[in-house]
């Protein structure tokens, strides 16, 4: 079974290594040490934990109701406005997502570089939810 370092697990979970380390220290995910003394997370344990983390994301007051199920929470890294259309880029963990939408939608959502947003992918469309 493949094992992952704290840094690798953090990248896969889309969090900082410090967050992954705190979760391990708190016992939320089990670790073991290799011959070099590095902390490792078993692949099966990481897979189960990633599902737990994704199901626990957001609280009741942050609920978003949508039919799109593939959500990528991240940070807006670029907004390019045209006369009618716009392009928004979001970095979600290791994933860079680009959405083409109307300028009006970008303005209504108030999307700006540096703000949190969630890209939702359904089929070939990427939908943006402001957080």
Predicted confidence pLDDT, tens digits, the chain (131 residues): 688 899 988 888 888 899 999 999 999 999 999 999 999 998 888 878 887 887 665 544 455 556 656 888 888 888 999 999 999 998 887 788 899 999 999 999 999 888 888 888 877 767 778 76
What is the DSSP pairing of strand 39-42 with strand 32-33?
antiparallel
- What six digits make up the tokens of 116? 């949190």
**Helical axes 6-13 vs 17-25, angle rounded to 10°:** 110
How would you label 18-32 residue by residue, b for 16+ Cβ within 10 Å and e otherwise?
eebbebbeeeebebe
Phi/psi-derived region of residue 31, left when phi > 0, alpha when psi is between -120 and 50, beta in every other case: beta
pTM of the model: 0.49
């Amino acid at each position: 079974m493949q094992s992952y370092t704290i840094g690798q697990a953090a990248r896969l979970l889309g969090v900082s290594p410090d967050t992954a380390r705190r979760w391990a220290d708190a016992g939320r995910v089990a670790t073991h040490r290799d011959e070099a003394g590095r902390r490792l997370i078993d692949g099966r344990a990481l897979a189960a934990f990633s599902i737990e983390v994704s199901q626990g994301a957001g609280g009741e007051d942050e609920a978003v109701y949508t039919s799109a199920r593939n959500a990528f929470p991240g940070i807006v890294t670029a907004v390019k406005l045209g006369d009618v259309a716009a392009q928004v880029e979001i970095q979600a963990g290791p994933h860079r997502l680009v959405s083409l939408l109307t300028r009006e939608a970008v303005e209504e959502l108030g999307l700006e570089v540096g703000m949190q947003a969630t890209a939702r992918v359904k089929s070939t469309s990427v939908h943006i939810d402001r957080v």
